[in-house]
Each structure stands twice: as C-alpha cells, then as structure tokens.
Amino acid sequence: MRILIYDDVEKLGKAASILFAAKIIEKPDCVLGMATGSSPLPVYRSLVELYEQGIIDFDRVRSFNLDEYVGISRSNEQSYYRFMYDNLFSKVNIRPENVHVPNPASDDWVGDCAAYDEAISEAGGIDLQILGIGENGHIGFNEPCRFFPFGTHIEELTQSTINANKRFFEKEEDVPKTAMTMGIGPIMKAKAVVLIATGGAKAKAVKSMLLDPVDPMCPASVLQLHPAATVFLDEAAALLLNKG
C-alpha cells in the first residue's frame, strides 16, 4: 500500500487525477470505478481541467459508480447519479451509454444487484477505482459488519453515515436510510485502487484502516490486502498515524 500525504487538498486532487489520466491515456476504453461525496471532488475538478486542455479524452471510457441511495429519483439533487453529472460527466465527453450508476427506482433489487455485478464482470472488471472512506471506516456503503459482503447489495445505513451525510439534505429525516452498493468483491478485484481521505473527522478511520488488523468492522482495512492500493491523505486525516 502506498500512502501519500499532502499539505493541500487541491494538490492532493491533482496528484490522484494524474493516476486516472495516465490510465485513460494508457487504456482509452478503461473501466473507472467512481465515488461521490466530498473526497473525490478535487480529483474530478482536475480531470475536467485535463479534459478541457485536450490532455485526456473520455470518449471510450466506461464507468461504474459505487453506490446510490434507495428511494431517491435520478433528478433529485442529492442522488449520486445527479452528483456525477453535475461534477464530472456533464463536463467531459463520456458517453451516457458507458455510464453505470446503481438504479434507485428498481423494484427487483435482487435481480438488479446481480445484473450490476454481471455488467462489471462483462466490462472486464474495474481498472481503477476511486474511494472515499466513511468516519466509521465504510467504503462504498459497505458499513461495519461481521463479514465482508462480496457482491452488490442493499445496505442499511448506520447512524454515523446518516449523521455525516445530513449536511447535504435540508433535514435529517430526508436522508435515505438504505442504499444499493457495490460489495467488497469488485473493489478488491479492481486492478488498482485510490482512496482519498481529507479532514480531521477521518483521522480515526484512517488509522484503523492502515494500522489495525484487517477487520470487517472497519471495511476499508481490507485494502491492506489489495496489491495496488494508493492512499492519498491530507495532514489532518493523517494526524493519528504516528501516534500509538
């Protein structure tokens, strides 16, 4: 696992975006695993800049998002589908047919979860996956649990996640309580993984991810076993790494 610490979030975003740009240059039809939330935003900003400068081309890029809230329409400002269009997809030339975000309007969850995993496999798996980390150590919406869930599934969000995400909603009652999320399987099968953590609120989870034994109670700790994981931290998120 490579761990890189930056003193500035925009710099960190640029550095991580270089890995994505290199992947797109090396493999124009690469499969990117996408995340939402605040952590990947500096990376997406930098990718948009590289696209506008004519350095990278998304024409053949394919993407799979990690997760989506259940019971939220795609036009809702808080849907992850909308987030991806607002922050990246509408600003680059990715083709809509190459974009995959779990579908929150489904009435066949079991079938849809299996179909999502099948689509990832058919695409050849994920070449490069971006991840954030929850304050409770979740990746995607794989919440702390007694085991690592393998495939795409429906997850009940913990109070910690609801608390963290309520900043995006008018009131706490509006925060969806369940989400559809990629499991740990496709994340671990991704050929490379980039995890971004910024801010002091993530320091405890980062310490547990990197320094504690692998444990599904800190789902991100599984990345210790990934052969090509790079963790980008700012100084606040890295604060507890030197303290026993």
User: Would you tell me which residues interact with ligand F6R (CB under 6 A)?
Assistant: 35-39, 66-67, 80, 132-134, 138-141
DSSP secondary structure letters along the chain:
-EEEEES-HHHHHHHHHHHHHHHHHH-TT-EEEE--SSTTHHHHHHHHHHHHTTS---TT-EEEESEEETT--TTSTTSHHHHHHHHTGGGS---GGGEE---TT-S-HHHHHHHHHHHHHHTTS-SEEEE---TTS-BTTB-S-SS---S-EEEEPPHHHHHHHGGGSSSGGGS-SEEEE--HHHHHHSSEEEEEE-SGGGHHHHHHHHHSPPBTTBGGGGGGG-TTEEEEEETTTTTTTT--
Residue nearest to ligand F6R (CB): 132
Catalytic residue among 65, 138, 142, 155: 138
* Minimum distance, C-beta of residue 157 to ligand F6R, in the bound complex (Å): 10
Q: Which is nearer to ligand F6R, 66 or 128 (CB)?
A: 66
Catalytic residue among 65, 67, 87, 127: 67
67 is known as an active-site residue: yes
* Minimum distance, C-beta of residue 38 to ligand F6R, in the bound complex (Å): 4
Q: Which is nearer to ligand F6R, 94 or 164 (CB)?
A: 164
* Minimum distance, C-beta of residue 84 to ligand F6R, in the bound complex (Å): 9
143 is known as an active-site residue: yes
Catalytic residue among 65, 87, 136, 165: 136
Q: Which is nearer to ligand F6R, 38 or 106 (CB)?
A: 38
* Minimum distance, C-beta of residue 135 to ligand F6R, in the bound complex (Å): 8
138 is known as an active-site residue: yes
Catalytic residue numbers, as ranges: 67, 136, 138, 143
